[in-house]
Amino acid sequence: MTKAVLATWYTVLRMFRDAGTFIMIGVPVALIPIITAAFSFIPADAPYLLGAPNPTVFFAGGILIMFQLFGGGYTMTYVKRALLTPMSMRLRVTPGGVGAILVGTVAAAIVVSLCQGMAVVLFTRVALDVRWASIPMLGAVLIGVSLVSQLVYLLLLLVLRKQGPAGALGWVYGYGSCVLGGLIFPLPVERPMFRFLVTYGGPYSLAQTALREVRPGGYASMAMLATGTLFGLAAALGLAVWLVSRREFRTGDSLGTQPTSENHTTGNEPALRSEMEAARTESSQPAPVPPAPVCRRRSSGFTVFRYTFVRAFRDPLNIALIVILPLALAFLPEAVGFTVPIGYQSYGAVILFGAFLLLRPVVEDGSNGTLERIGAAPVTRMRYLVQTLTANAIILVSQNAIMVAIGVVFHGEVLPVPGLLVVAYAVFSVASLALCLAGAAIFRRRETTYQALSLVLGGMAALSGFFWPIEFMPVAARRAAMATPGYWLLDAIRTLESAGPSVEFAVSVAIMVLFSGVFLLTGSTRRLE
């Protein structure tokens, strides 16, 4: 226990020594006023608010919980560094071993997440006059949600053993929980199934239920039930993590025990020696670089371009999120207030997150030193960026064309000027890639980039009007949305629907091109870490 406490405080100090931690604490504080202002039009008695007294309280609590859901990224990053790198064998055989590292990292991540939550609570209380009903219950809910999230991310990492796919599934877990809780899309809560989902359908739903029922007029028993369910879920996840860790780390130090001389003189010794020799051999090798094609001819200079396609579709998760999900959106129906069918209105959000999934290998290359080695290789850093961005742009533009083609067949003339619609989506795709590159260059560190961009892109998608008609938002929010490329994509679509090819459409596309230029300039001139 003492070693776990020491590991906790050491990890807390490491986290707060990183400037990215303070960025992540400040991001929700900056987003809440924008989101609440954008949705101030919602009446206080709307079913969408699920009993919250006003939109400010609903979205303040929603964003507070959402950031706790993504806080598992801290645990994933630091466990990856400590236990899943070539030199981690040294830490595995230290007193305390794997158990102290896992417990200490999870506890440290919860401390950081609670600091983030308390910053949101203080800001909303002072600046927005949000009155939280019960601080003790709020603290218990935040601890429960954070603990569940840390264990979910940790379990994904231990099972997949790769931070990239595990982080992407963490996105699915975080945003999926918010969707089931009614934060991202309004759900028809008058139906029993959807009412159950927004009440008990996931960590977000349980936390919101506890905070809602602890207010005056609520049912305290239901709040206690939701909170207890959170901790019960955490216990089940903790058991799963313990079982997986016992299987994964067979180095003589089972979870919670220390290595002894008996451990190293029995059947575990050959396995331990072979793992240490493999780790030593791997650590002496340079970071992987895109392999050159095996042939006798001179390279054509497009090695990185070809390898980018291989990396993009080598991961089944990328295929699911970049290919299958957009095609499913193409079949969603029309809705009142939307210029085009719902799927084509929200398709811009899919492009944003698809661009980041495609740019994720660039972040990985920056963090593992590949870009530094490229600087000394015949492939220059600029050629690497140009070929990588070009290949990813071709992937997204091809997806855009397929999406519009399906729409022409399924929706007919509802889609305005399909050729120009592909152009608008294509320019926005380039702007999205450039935005993610700029974000990676600004936030620099991998873990900070993953967490910050996931939340910034989500806020940008909401502010741009991908999920609801932009006309529903107040004038101030619409003016703020003009600072995002997503607004101009929807403006181009509205112009095509109302006036067809016109100067206004060209202006909207030109503004997206301008955004792309600014983002590319920022992302290509700052060195990735």
For the chain, how far is it from start to end, CA to CA, in angstroms? 35
d(CA 108, CA 451): 17
- Most confident segment among 223-227, 342-346, 406-410: 223-227
For residue 341 the two structure tokens come to 């069918």
Reduce the DSSP state of residue 189 to 3 states and report it. Answer: coil
Lowest pLDDT segment from 105-109, 110-114, 260-264: 260-264
Least confident of 193-202, 368-377, 464-473: 368-377
Lowest mean pLDDT among 177-181, 251-255, 396-400, 429-433: 251-255
Nearest by Cα to 117 from 109, 127, 129: 109
Amino acid letter, residue 282: E
Position 467 confidence tier, pLDDT thresholds 50, 70, 90 = confident
Q: How far apart are CA 325 and CA 12, in angstroms?
A: 38
Helix extents (H) in 444-483: 446-464, 475-481
Alpha-carbon span 361 to 309, nearest angstrom: 11
From the list 227, 233, 193, the residue with the least C-alpha distance to 210 is 227
pLDDT digits (tens, 9 = 90+) for 263-280: 444 444 444 444 445 544
Q: Please compute the mean of the pLDDT values over residues 447-456 and round it to a whole number.
A: 74
Q: In the prediction, which pLDDT does 122 show?
A: 92
* Residue 232's pLDDT band (cuts 50, 70, 90): very high
> What confidence score (pLDDT) does residue 276 get?
46
> What CA–CA distance (Å, rounded) separates 515 from 509?
10
Q: Is the confidence at residue 347, as pLDDT, over 90?
A: no
Tokens of 139: 């603290």
Q: What is the structure's pLDDT at 167?
A: 78
What pLDDT score was predicted for residue 205? 93
**What confidence tens digit (pLDDT) does each residue in 352-379 have?**
888 888 888 877 776 666 666 665 556 6
pLDDT in tens, 29-71: 877 887 777 677 777 777 777 778 888 888 888 889 988 998 8
CA distance 516 to 523: 10
What are φ and ψ of residue 61, in 5° steps?
A: -65, -40
Confidence of residue 413 (pLDDT cuts 50, 70, 90): confident
110 versus 476: the higher-pLDDT residue is: 110
The neighbour count for residue 329, using CB atoms within 10 Å, is: 19
pTM for this model (two decimals): 0.68
Task: Give residue 318's identity as a one-letter amino acid code.
Answer: N
Axis-axis angle for helices 485-499, 446-464 (nearest 10) = 30
Q: DSSP letters of 13-47?
A: HHHHHSHHHHHHHHHHHHHHHHHHHHTTTS-TT-G
Q: Name which residue leads in pLDDT, 286 or 41.
A: 41
Percent of the chain whose predicted confidence (pLDDT) is above 90 = 19
Alpha carbon 225 to chain centroid distance? 29
